Amino acid sequence: MSIALVRTVPPAIARAELTHVARQPIDVARAGQQHRQYRDALERLGCTVRELPPEPDLPDSVFVEDTAVVLDEVAVITRPGAESRRPETASVAEALRAYRELGFIEAPGTLDGGDVLRIGPRIFVGETARSNAEGIRQLRACVAPYGYEVEAVAVSGCLHLKSAVTRVAASTVLLNPGWVDPEVFAACERIEVDPGEPFAANALCLDGHVLLPAAFPRTRRRLEARGIEVTTVDADELAKAEGGLTCCSLVVAE
């Protein structure tokens, strides 16, 4: 059983940070509806969903994944690379205190949770505009006592490491080879996204089941052909704010 921490879509989402996608108007009501479908899917997949306090004036506050890295032994509160996102972390730290000991990334380190991918005891961290070498060093110092190895990974063409690659089974990754070098994950089974669906690599794996945006049917078929069970949700309105599925929750294993 896991707890999924989520936060409602803020009215300010129209002013979300954008790096690799062009700004388009966002229908806040539709984004909210999609977010509710996402919450329902998490519940159907066995999570207990808990709401973080709303942050109506913080444009990216629905993307809670970036504010913390939650492991079984510790949760590390990040210092997001985008300055506008730094006020998001205080309420997340308060909520996570109930479940884990906390570590903190401090200035001049920056780290976004979207750059952090754990596969067993290995933690891959994207070196991106959001996560710098000092943030990665501090994360390593926080988690090394628990036996984790932290490895920096080059990423290009997308926002975060987990835009380019996510885990879809115990030792299987789904990746976009245009954005991250597949050889980094040579120890895993690898599945590539359909070339026409570059944003499909951001999938959320929960207890052996994968949640994927409905917009990526060809990648869905690739996953199913490898025996992976997939549930889809509509997430195109949230995608206009450059958010995917992993970024809308912080999963705390109990």
Rule CB under 6 A: is residue 135 a binding residue for ligand CIR?
no
Angstrom distance (rounded) from CA 66 to CA 245: 12
**150 touches 137 (CB < 8 A):** no
* Minimum distance from residue 242 beta carbon to ligand CIR (Å): 4
Q: How far is the CB of 225 from ligand CIR (least distance, A)?
A: 26
Q: Looking at 47, 160, 188, 205, which residue is catalytic?
A: 160
Which member of 74, 82, 102, 214 binds ligand CIR (CB under 6 A)? 82
Examine residue 244 and tell whether it contacts ligand CIR (CB under 6 A).
Answer: yes
Separation CA 81–CA 5 (nearest Å): 21
Residue 16 interacts with ligand CIR (CB under 6 A)?
Answer: yes
Binding track, positions 37-76, relative to ligand CIR; x by CB under 6 A? -----------------------x--x-xx----------
Q: Which residue number, 16 or 31, has a Cβ lying nearer to ligand CIR?
A: 16
| Contact indicator for 117, 87 with CB cutoff of 8 Å | no
Residue 241 touches ligand CIR, criterion: CB under 6 A: yes
Classify 121 as helix, strand or coil. Answer: coil
Phi then psi for residue 135, to 5 deg, are -65, -40
209: Cα within 13 Å, side-chain hemisphere = 12
Strands 250-253 and 204-206: unpaired
C-alpha dist (Å) from residue 218 to 130, 178, 193, 234 = 30, 17, 8, 15
Assess whether 247 carries a catalytic annotation.
yes
Does 243 sit near ligand CIR (CB under 6 A)? yes
Given the residues 142, 158, 188, 247, the one annotated as active site: 247
Backbone angles phi, psi at 25, to 5 degrees: -60, 140
- Candidate segments 69-77, 193-201, 218-226, 240-248, binder of ligand CIR by CB under 6 A: 240-248
Cβ-closest position to ligand CIR: 114
Q: Catalytic residue at 160?
A: yes
When asked if residue 237 is in the footprint of ligand CIR (CB under 6 A), the reply is no
CA 248 from chain center: how many Å?
A: 7
Q: Which helix (H) or strand (E) holds 195?
A: none
Hey, what are 173's tokens? Answer: 């990754």
For residues 55 and 60, which CB has a smaller minimum distance to ligand CIR in the complex? 60
Which residues are the active-site residues? 160, 247
Which residues in this chain contact ligand CIR in the complex, by CB under 6 A? 16-17, 19, 60, 63, 65-66, 82, 85, 114, 159-160, 162, 241-244, 246-247
